Amino acid sequence: MKKTLKSLLALAMAVLMVLSLAACGGSEEGETTKEEQQNNPEFTYSAKYTEFDAEHEKYGYLSTISMNNDGIFLTGEEEIKKDGAESEETADANGTEPAADAESADEENHVTYEPRLLFADYDSNIEVLPGYKPPETDDDNAYFGIGSIFAAEDGNIRTIEYINKYEYTGPDNITKNDDEYWMYMQDKSEYYIRTLDKTGAELSSAQIELPEDSYLDSRNILIDKAGNLILGVGDGIIGFKDDGTKLFELSNDEYIERMLLLADGRIVVSSWGNNGPAVFELNTETGKLGEPIDLPRNAYNIYSGGDKYDLCYIDGTRLYGFNIGEEPVKILNWIDVDICGDRIEGFNINADGSIVGISMIPPVKENDSYKTEIFKLTPQPYDPSAQKQELSIAVMWPEQQLVDSIVKHNRSNPDYRIVLKDYSEFNTEDDYGAGRTKLLTEMLSGEMPDMVSVSSLPYTQLASKGIIEDIYPFLDADKDLSRDDLFENVIKAMEVDGKLCQIFPSFSIITAAGSAKVVGDMESWNYKQFNEALASMPEGCTAFGPGVTKSAMLSGCLSMDINMYADWSTGECHFDSPEFIELLEFANQFPKEFDYTTYEPAPGEDTMSLIASGKQMLMDVYISDMESIAMDDLQFGGDAVYIGYPSNNGGGSMLSINNGYAITKNCKDKQAAWDFLKVFFTEKYEDNMYYSLPLNKASFDKKLKEAMTPVYETDENGNYVLDENGDKIEVSNHGVSFGNGTSYDLYAMTEAQAAKLKNLIESTTKVSDSNSTLTEIVVEEAVPYFEGQKSAEETAKLIQSKVNIYINEQR
């Protein structure tokens, strides 16, 4: 593996950490209360984490292939230089510098990367199997790979391996020096089943024939108890003996998601059944699948249950085990044992209840990278006196970055543990909002976590009631952060009664874009100005695309101006005002409904074509990264103007806040909660975010500078290619298509585009506040008006009455 790739390796010196983990601590006297005795678990896990040894760095990224009770089989690659070429390590040892053009030197010296087979026990002792050699081939351009590895019943090792080759299929008069030569190159793959001894030395090898364009997925490869190879290929399954003889081949109506060998020797295939996720038992003698066996509703990605269960599955951060035909059992929450569930590469559950596996861990120290580690979790009696102080954080869906932050905090903080409460586990098939309802009900009744994700909750309502804390005092007292580090207008827009009650790392902007030729230099407009602009367009022109209906426009404009009509602090409502009646009348001019399931745009009806031909005036825009401005300019011929939606309250663009977190008034230690949450405000954290705009100005400036930095064409030696005027030639970052069949190149952001983005951010002062209950009331009561059954004034009075009752009941 080349030096540039070695920097990505997640390997470091071995470290051992033994932690006692789980629920609440005892009382001051060292004795648990009655409530704590009821809530405390019977047992918890001691956790041992061991990082891989750095000496194995030369094998590149160590990929987990399979696990058993003894350890883990891994594969890597070792750089091999032929024709007497010096390796980088040798050159450095001799005190000489590597070649300036390392890649060219590699090609001239025929550098290859041969696969290596390794084994790691659960104490992280790693050994390279010395007898292993890849299959032989006379093709220097061939690429070898190991698809899967298994420990056979007889103590030997079985591997599934492949060789990728490229064959020339063109005319005889074309040589390798011709550009078109590579157009005729086609790849061809050969597959082998090999039996190796414990050292990796080959005992037998047989080629197996797979359908064209097959792809080996380690999740769909296994060796049964009889030593036969079973392969899931797309929507089919093929069985082979170890000599390559085909046993059976079958097709399935649904894609094969995963195949697993159960402890009793049965093979089950995960696919889609009549009622959702299901498994089918595979009879290898007949080559047929049994009837579907329904799985638990969230068991989409199943794992081996080891010695204790038939199967396991991960739902969010929770690990469940179950035996087929029985109810699932919650085993643990991965965060409670300081592991990121989404970063687990494999695990085994042993008969004694211990769990061993391999995972990636986020950086703990400055300038660290992700590391690969082996973990072992051992059940032990719960000891309340051994626990850290706990602070809880409630969420509806745990974001990966939040999980990483919790794991990083819990492994490094000696005093506090962050405990994640994932309310999505209360959702049901009939009510996917049950978890949200439960969390909101608990908070309004005074039963609160220490911290809470407010992204799916009525933030303004909670802040007005004083349920969540003003974080300005913590921000102003912090020695590392200040208001000046953040976009002032964005945090000010999030204030409720002068208080900032949530911590969020990023934001996006929801707006409407139009051509400067149509909207001129206006920065906002009212309903009258909007309709005048639409009237000036060619006959038949629509305001927006076909999906914008009466209800959608009412809901969107309401989210922008909801604070104009409802005040949670005072309980006053203004839905019977002339301004709201005008909003109703404006929304009523849009289509009644739109059926996405049957809509098929004809040629020339994509957004870009409609705008160019004057058939569509505006476009809904969601600005979430530095490229958004350039993409909008392309659609509007270089003069996109962010006019926003019409309003009688100014400014038609809205801020959309991403992943906001709050400290509740009942938090046990508000300073400790701030110390955990403030990381989301920091430059370092926001540097690693994508698809949103950083709130931290330093991080924003860094990303903007990167977006404005051109990329220039270079030759094979790394030198700039110049045009006829002696200037460097800029190349595109990537291409983009808007549905009209044409691709467009995106280049570095221009000064004008950067200024446009900054101006839009700094001039946007409204926040998209979609209080779902309020919006539902308004939209539902507006339907009779949209149907022509009631006047706008009658509708406004009815909405005023219902919303007024609701708000004052909730205050």
DSSP string, 113-155: EEEEEEEEETT--EEE-TT--PPP-S-TT-EEEEEEEEE-TTS
Question: What angle do helix axes 578-587 and 792-810 make, rounded to 10 degrees?
Answer: 120
Alpha-helix runs per DSSP H in 365-496: 400-412, 434-444, 459-464, 472-477, 488-493
Amino acid in the structure at residue 191: Y
Q: Where are the beta strands (DSSP E) in 234-342?
A: 236-240, 246-251, 258-261, 267-272, 277-283, 288-289, 293-294, 302-304, 311-315, 318-322, 329-333
Distances (CA, A) of 124 to 75, 119, 260, 345: 15, 9, 25, 15
Q: Which of 128, 126, 124, 150 lies closest to 375 in space, CA to CA?
A: 124
What local confidence, expressed as pLDDT, does residue 39 receive?
Answer: 55
Cα angle, residue 103 at apex, residues 97 and 108 outer, rounded to 5° = 95
Residue type, 239: G
Tokens, residue 2: 């080349």
Sort residue 336 into left (φ over 0), alpha (ψ -120 to 50) or beta: alpha
In Å, the largest CA–CA distance within the chain is 91
What b/e sequence results for 219-229 when a residue is b if at least 16 CB atoms lie within 10 Å of its CB, and e otherwise? bbbbbbeeebb
Q: How far apart are CA 713 and CA 324, in angstroms?
A: 59
Structure tokens at 348: 């085994």
**Amino acid 523: pLDDT:** 78
Query: Residue 64's pLDDT is what?
Result: 65
Torsion, Cα of 307, 311, 314, 319 (10° steps): -40
Q: What is the mean pLDDT of each run of 10 residues along the chain (811 residues)?
A: 30 28 34 43 82 68 72 82 50 37 42 81 82 81 81 83 82 78 79 91 91 76 87 86 90 82 88 83 89 85 85 88 89 90 83 85 60 85 77 91 90 91 87 90 92 91 93 96 96 94 95 87 86 90 88 91 88 92 94 79 79 89 91 84 88 89 96 96 89 94 94 87 90 77 84 93 88 86 94 94 88 72
Q: What is the pLDDT of residue 602?
A: 73
One-letter amino acid at 430 equals: D
Interior angle at CA 667, CA 664 and CA 671, nearest 5: 100
What are 736's two structure tokens? 């983009």
Q: What is the CA radius of gyration of the chain?
A: 31
What residues pair up with 735 in beta bridges, in sequence order? 745
Task: Identify the pLDDT of residue 23.
Answer: 32
Q: Helices 751-763 & 697-708, crossing angle to 10 degrees? A: 150
pLDDT of amino acid 168: 75
**Tokens 């990121």 belong to residue:** 340
pLDDT for the residue numbered 172: 82
Per-residue model confidence (pLDDT) at position 255:
79
**Single pTM value for the model:** 0.78
What whole-number distance in Å separates Cα of residue 768 and Cα of residue 776?
A: 15
pLDDT for residue 370:
66
User: Chain centroid to CA 363: how far?
Assistant: 18
